[in-house]
Structure 1
Amino acid sequence: MTATTTRRRRRPAAITETAARTRAAATPQPPTEPAAPDDAAAAASSDGRAAEPTDETPVYAASGAFRPHVRGFGFVDLSDAADIDSCFVPPPLAEGLLEGDTVAVSFTIDDEGRATASEASVLARSRTTLFGVVERGESGLVLRVDPHLGHGRWAVKGRPREGQAVRVTVTGDRQATIEQRWADPTSADALLERIRVRHLIPTDFPTEVLAEVGQRGARRGRRGRPPQPSRRDLRDLITVTIDAPGSRDLDDALSVWPADPDGGLRVAVHIADVATQVWPGTALDAEARRAATSVYLPGWSRPMVPPALSEDALSLLPGVDRDAITVELRIAPGGEVTAADVYATRIRSDARLSYETAADVLCGRGAADVPEEVLTALRWLRTAAARLGVQRMRRGGIEARRVEPELTVRVVDGRAQQVEAEPSNPAHLLVERFMVAANEAVAAWLIARGLPGVFRVHPPPDPEAAPALETFCAAAGFHPGFGATLSPLGLAALASQLELAADETAAAVWDVLLGYLGRSQYTPDAGPHFGLASEGYLHFTSPIRRYADLTVHRIIHAFLAGERDAAAYPDPDELARLCAHINTATGVAGRAEGQMRKALWLVTLARQAAQDGPATVTGRVSGLNAKGLFVTLDASRVTGFLPARALPGRGWAPTPDALALADRAGHRIGFGEAVEAFIDSADPESGQLQLRPVRRD
């Protein structure tokens, strides 16, 4: 960062990322809803231009990557400024900048250390493809760019028509040419393409990758294939897969032996051996590493590896022989895993069951088309899963169960439709318990042998979490009694209360609780997983869908094949770079799924309002800041924002404990409280849901 000439400037009242983060940290926020920053107008004069200089203030220069905000401003993450992480870019200067662009900025720093740009210019464009909607401007038809990608209007060629959604190729400075168009910007196909362009998610695989997949049979004898371990033949062991009816990428299966004289049960968790087909140094591996994860969006998915592998050659389909890596667990009557072994196998699935069919068996309803030997295996698996559940209860943490929404949104005949949500059932919990146990066992297996790995670590919350969360829960009607520190057992006890309540307030508490706990991360350093109350954890059970799991499989392969030289394994620096990449890629995939799902919801809510008039919704307060309330709707769990200025009364501001807004007359609205509101606007482009209160006379 360099200082340039001194100019006379008025100190800007900038809205900075630092300020937004400070407000967000003051109170728990919904995990998918960022705290609303102050109005962008605070950083600009009334005519929308940057403020005129009045004081003697140093002007600095630096560069970095641009991040737009849907409300018209943005930030440049500075790569060459020693003391400033980011610089606020007010709306006039943000026009024409795109997400990820390398941008040079001149900026001033106010007395609180906040940087605001006075000039901004593009050094390098980050993307060649954009998505937006054609609208009429002052001089004709122009492109309104997806607000998640940038702001301002672009000249567009290719016979544009007003109101169309279009994917365009950038051809010059704020100039683009149409490549594909959709008559209805709110159609599911248009929304899907918007998300794919926004997050740079490809639809196809590179030609060289598909060529390698087509030649996989011919290359088996070629040099370069990693050493292969010897395999145990378990094809005579009854084996079942349990998954969603439409799933084709089946990467896990289960087997069980009846209890031994001591009551011990042996369960085999079989995982598709992807490492036999996806080799390091190939185009296939490079593409899998780039993607890092399969992407699942409503109505569409993009697998990490091509369907010829993910849905066929590697999938544990019934009646076909498959290579697998198997984790054998011995589970004592009290639920302890007393022994675990990891080895390569050859298996054959005897039955493919849906979650619903498996649940019928587990709940004693039976299933006429399930063979008797499979029924017997499921019943033993039920016993083993129940034992694991007892052990999970002893140590605490959170299982996959939670209070579920009444409705979900799906793509039906190309349109977003609200449908009744399918609740999870005992089969989901059974599979989840075995997958967690297998992942823990493999983590312990690697650590015991001094092997590297890609571990999944979830650090405990900060020391102030317990009292803050205690106060928040009390405001919503729950009293967890955490004590001085938040423990996995205390967390489990609260989760049990929420599941028993199973109402809208409990659902709102769940959403805030999960957001408050934060996300786990991939790391080469083994460590505890607080949310699961696990001493060591990783991802091993989905190598078709996750590159982290595939990396773990390759390490297991090398050890089972007799490799003892450290050079045969990835070094710590290599794993650190890989983990950073996977964390970024999985974050992008998660945001894409969340944004697509919310966009579909907003389309249905806007459609209802257009057809039936102003729509009234109910929800619970799940977050707040100085500008208003975040309200999570009861039926859908979609979160909207209710501005404080729309509330009756005056002077609304956060209370000292930051758990409510209060006006000058002493009225309060806080966490967990029920809210009835109208939908003011539902915008699938920006993902913003704006609410206004229903006023009662």
Structure 2
Amino acid sequence: MDEFERRKKLIEELVKDELYVPMKIKELAIFLQVPKEQRQELAKVLDSLVEEGRIGLTRRGKYTKVENTSYTGVYESTKRGFGFVTVEGMDDDIFIPESATGGAFHGDTVRVAVTKQHAGKKRMEGKVIQIVERGIKELVGTYQDNRTFGFVVPDNAKISCDVFVPSDKSMGAMTGHKVVVKITNYGTATRNPEGEVTEIIGHINDPGTDIMSIVRAYDLPVEFPEDVMTSLKNIPSEVDEKDKNGRVDLRNLKTVTIDGEDAKDLDDAITLVKNDDNGKVTYRLGVHIADVSHYVTEKSALDKEAYKRGTSVYLVDRVIPMLPHKLSNGICSLNQGEDRLALSCIMDIDSNGSITGHRIAETVINVDRRMTYTSVNKIVTDRDEDERAAYADFVSMFEDMDELASILREKRRKRGSIDFDFPETKIILDDNGNPVEVKPYERNKATRIIEDFMLAANETVAEDYFWQEMPFLYRSHENPDPEKIQRLATFINNFGYSIHKNSDEIHPKELQKLLARIEGSDEEMLISRLTLRSMKRAQYTTECVGHFGLAAKYYCHFTSPIRRYPDLQIHRIIKENLHGGMNQKRLKHYDSILPEVAKHTSQTERRADDAERDTDKLKMVQYMENHIGEEYEGVISGMTSWGIYVELPNTIEGMVPVTSLKDGYYTYDENHYEMVNDLNNKTYKLGQRVTIKVAGTDRMLRTIDFEMVSAAENVQSSHMERSEQSNGKANRRKKAHSK
């Protein structure tokens, strides 16, 4: 053992000693009586031990036992070899260099030791020291036959290695087949993983295979188990008369549903009565939600399967429902002209949008008209004569709805609710599943009416059960990370904007005011996107921490129990409470199960979102395959050190690789979100309008490559000039304030 290794062993034993107290390098040097001229050598020894994961380094620079600075999280690999570990409760992930992955596979739960703390940054660097649990047991990919053996190229681009398949484990798969492969050996740094084919989905060119490959990759359950289908025999096709007993009968109220043309699972209906008492206007708004929990009882086969799925998944060419069609499109769907059981939130609202009283009750309703967003928008916005004549008995109610929705929206705006109006994507397919049109899905007055009414009901129910101190599931959106808000504040200062915050807290109204100030400006898209990225993701929690984006103290998901399990869960709690059954035993029961329900449904929601996003990206790639060489105008929507992302008006996004920019060498200025030409100081920046040409597509990676054709003249000058301008503006503001 050489001298360096001997010193490492000595210090490692010291740090592991039970009596050892974490120390900085200077303290260790004094303790070990290391002279100043040898402290550099001590630093090398300590760095080596930390990098090897044998001792730990705290955020304050103290050396300690490795278990004190190790974390358990989920490893996410990249196609370039390095990866990141996401630890629950930590805002920033831990960077894992390619040499420190420890054989971890994408999706594994791992134990990671922190090896470096980057000065001025929150992100830590680490080394995987233990694989706790394998995350991916099987994967989906494209089979390639190589005579005596085969291999599967994973669809997931984050998995950089192919999976070796012995010929006798291929199930007869041919080149081009999409397959599911079970991993039998995870390989090493020098040897690929090994597996066996368990399912052949279909050939890559067969219609529907592409979407089904994504469905299988995300392990989305498609077929319902036999016990679930058997239990449907006990579900009636019509509401039983005895089930109406004891309910509030609202069948005499004028009732409508308003949904998309293709919707079949109609889980919310609306009633509205406007009163004018000598100029004092009030509204009674009824939001009536399908009483799914009446048919899906706790711990039944239907309930267990609904919990497992967590949510319905809406893909481009299909819906994977949370509940079987006999429920979602049948007895639980609020179909026109049919008696239905509902859980209703009936709110009394004044002319200022304040909810002055409410009642939550089990009801019986009967929908008079099944309306579409298109039809209602024609009535209230276009004032289409034919449409108004067709629904003459309902026109005044729709106009009252529009009026009340505007009042509720204005009340939310005044308290600081943030409305990001980025368009969603609508993809039209032909009979063979080929995309023929990609366009933004436009919101209109009718969609906003329903949004506003659902928000009101969700808030009302959440506040009611918060004050009852009942176990409950809330939809929570936490305050943004202070560091991200500080970066946003620093950046927008370059454009002459500012946001006010108290210490580490910011009120949503400040972000709302910022979005209002930039509306119509050249930097609107840029700052809107950065503002959105500075915010956290909403999730389900058992604690009522509020909803930052809506500027709401109380919020839950109450209005969609057909397609979301959290809604179904809280319906069950509400109904049990209404019937007086919420005794100590049941309170304890819900206290014990709800944390896991919140965690699981947040995960299934994320899975559904990812699957929906991937199917959209796939169809966008297929659409652009037929438009290679064509030019489009777009807006720069994102940047990395390796490329510039451009979004087209139809919502399709592609990337211009930095290596394809032909007028010089560009570097990415992360602080100003700019790509800067080192020779002539030319810049590309977020929000800038550009003209691109479609250069190529890759179905496997689901990517679209663009080439830069031209860019609109920068409204803002270069980042160096802007810094000078912003300093000048800051000085002028200080002078004005001093007056």
Does residue 152 of structure 1 match 2:162? yes
Quick one: distance in 2 between partners of 1:358 and 1:619? 32
Residue in 2 aligned with 1:256? 272
Shift of 1:527: 2.2
Map Cα deviations across residues 152-194 of structure 1 (whole Å, 9 max, x no partner): 1432623333333334556777232363343335x66222122
Quick one: distance in 2 between partners of 1:529 and 1:251? 24
Shift of 1:71: 4.2
Shift of 1:451: 1.7
Residue in 1 aligned with 2:257? 241
Does residue 192 of structure 1 match 2:211? yes
What is the letter of the counterpart of residue 533 of structure 1?
A: A
Residue in 2 aligned with 1:162? 175
Shift of 1:653: 3.7
Does residue 668 of structure 1 match 2:678? no
Residue in 2 aligned with 1:31? none
Distance 1:371 1:694, change over 3 A: closer
Q: TM-score, normalised by structure 2?
A: 0.75
Note the aligned Cα RMSD (angstroms).
Answer: 3.8
Quick one: distance in 1 between partners of 2:555 and 2:398? 26
Distance 1:566 1:629, change over 3 A: farther
Shift of 1:246: 0.9
What is the letter of the counterpart of residue 277 of structure 1?
A: Y
Residue in 1 aligned with 2:286? 268
Residue in 1 aligned with 2:479? 460
Distance 1:75 1:507, change over 3 A: closer
Does residue 286 of structure 1 match 2:286? no
Quick one: distance in 2 between partners of 1:417 and 1:125? 40
SS of match in other structure, 1:373: coil
Residue in 2 aligned with 1:114? 125
Distance 1:686 1:322, change over 3 A: same
SS of match in other structure, 1:308: helix
Shift of 1:369: 6.8
8 Å CA contact retained: 2:508, 2:548: yes
SS of match in other structure, 2:428: strand
Shift of 1:286: 1.1
8 Å CA contact retained: 2:434, 2:622: no
Residue in 2 aligned with 1:623? 638
8 Å CA contact retained: 2:491, 2:671: no
8 Å CA contact retained: 1:134, 1:141: yes
SS of match in other structure, 2:76: strand
What is the letter of the counterpart of residue 130 of structure 1?
A: L
Map Cα deviations across residues 284-334 of structure 1 (whole Å, 9 max, x no partner): 111111111111111111111111111111111111111111111112112
Quick one: distance in 1 between partners of 2:111 and 2:274? 67
8 Å CA contact retained: 2:290, 2:332: yes
Residue in 2 aligned with 1:693? 708
8 Å CA contact retained: 1:135, 1:142: yes
Residue in 2 aligned with 1:588? 607
8 Å CA contact retained: 2:180, 2:201: yes
Quick one: distance in 2 between partners of 1:529 and 1:56? 44
Residue in 2 aligned with 1:305? 323
Distance 1:628 1:290, change over 3 A: same
SS of match in other structure, 1:429: helix
What is the letter of the counterpart of residue 672 of structure 1?
A: G
SS of match in other structure, 1:388: helix
Distance 1:472 1:312, change over 3 A: farther
Shift of 1:130: 3.0
What is the letter of the counterpart of residue 178 of structure 2?
A: A
Shift of 1:648: 4.8
Quick one: distance in 1 between partners of 2:609 and 2:247? 36
Residue in 1 aligned with 2:736? none
Distance 1:188 1:340, change over 3 A: farther
Does residue 331 of structure 1 match 2:339? no
Quick one: distance in 2 between partners of 1:359 and 1:78? 46
Distance 1:181 1:335, change over 3 A: closer
What is the letter of the counterpart of residue 574 of structure 1?
A: I
8 Å CA contact retained: 2:561, 2:567: yes
Distance 1:480 1:573, change over 3 A: farther
What is the letter of the counterpart of residue 458 of structure 1?
A: H
Residue in 1 aligned with 2:13? none
SS of match in other structure, 1:418: strand
Quick one: distance in 1 between partners of 2:527 and 2:696? 25
Flag structure 2 segments of 5+ consecutive residues without an equivalent. Answer: 9-47, 55-69, 119-123, 186-192, 712-739
Distance 1:161 1:508, change over 3 A: farther
Does residue 482 of structure 1 match 2:499? yes
Residue in 2 aligned with 1:209? 228
8 Å CA contact retained: 1:99, 1:148: no
SS of match in other structure, 2:458: helix
What is the letter of the counterpart of residue 482 of structure 1?
A: I
Residue in 1 aligned with 2:139? 130
Quick one: distance in 2 between partners of 1:484 and 1:78? 28
Does residue 429 of structure 1 match 2:445? no
Does residue 555 of structure 1 match 2:573? yes
SS of match in other structure, 1:380: helix
What is the letter of the counterpart of residue 568 of structure 2?
A: L
SS of match in other structure, 1:361: helix
Shift of 1:460: 2.4
Which of residues 396, 415, 427 is equivalent to 2:434? 415
Does residue 540 of structure 1 match 2:555? no
What is the letter of the counterpart of residue 203 of structure 1?
A: V
SS of match in other structure, 2:595: helix
Residue in 1 aligned with 2:247? 231
Q: How does 1:363-442 map to 2 (within 5 A)?
A: 363=381, 364-366=383-385, 367=387, 370-399=390-419, 402-404=421-423, 408-413=426-431, 414-442=433-461
Shift of 1:393: 2.6
8 Å CA contact retained: 1:129, 1:197: no
Residue in 2 aligned with 1:142? 151
Quick one: distance in 1 between partners of 2:499 and 2:94? 36
Q: How does 1:58-77 map to 2 (within 5 A)?
A: 59-60=52-53, 66-71=75-80, 74=83
Distance 1:397 1:544, change over 3 A: same
Q: How does 1:438-453 map to 2 (within 5 A)?
A: 438-453=457-472
SS of match in other structure, 1:605: helix
Does residue 469 of structure 1 match 2:482? no
Distance 1:111 1:370, change over 3 A: closer
Map Cα deviations across residues 80-102 of structure 1 (whole Å, 9 max, x no partner): xxxx96754569986xx754456
Larger Rg: 2
SS of match in other structure, 1:587: helix
8 Å CA contact retained: 2:236, 2:331: no
Q: Using the TM superposition, name which of 552-561 and 348-357 deviates more.
A: 552-561
Does residue 637 of structure 1 match 2:645? no
8 Å CA contact retained: 1:620, 1:673: yes
Quick one: distance in 1 between partners of 2:405 and 2:195? 59
Shift of 1:142: 3.0
Higher relative contact order (CA 8 A, sep 6+): 1
In proportion to residue count, which structure has more helix?
A: 2
Quick one: distance in 2 between partners of 1:194 and 1:498? 42
Quick one: distance in 2 between partners of 1:680 and 1:573? 55
SS of match in other structure, 1:421: strand
Distance 1:282 1:7, change over 3 A: farther
The count of corresponding residues between Structure 1 and Structure 2 is 621
Quick one: distance in 1 between partners of 2:110 and 2:490? 43
Quick one: distance in 1 between partners of 2:388 and 2:661? 58
Quick one: distance in 2 between partners of 1:86 and 1:528? 31
8 Å CA contact retained: 1:188, 1:416: no
Quick one: distance in 1 between partners of 2:246 and 2:228? 28
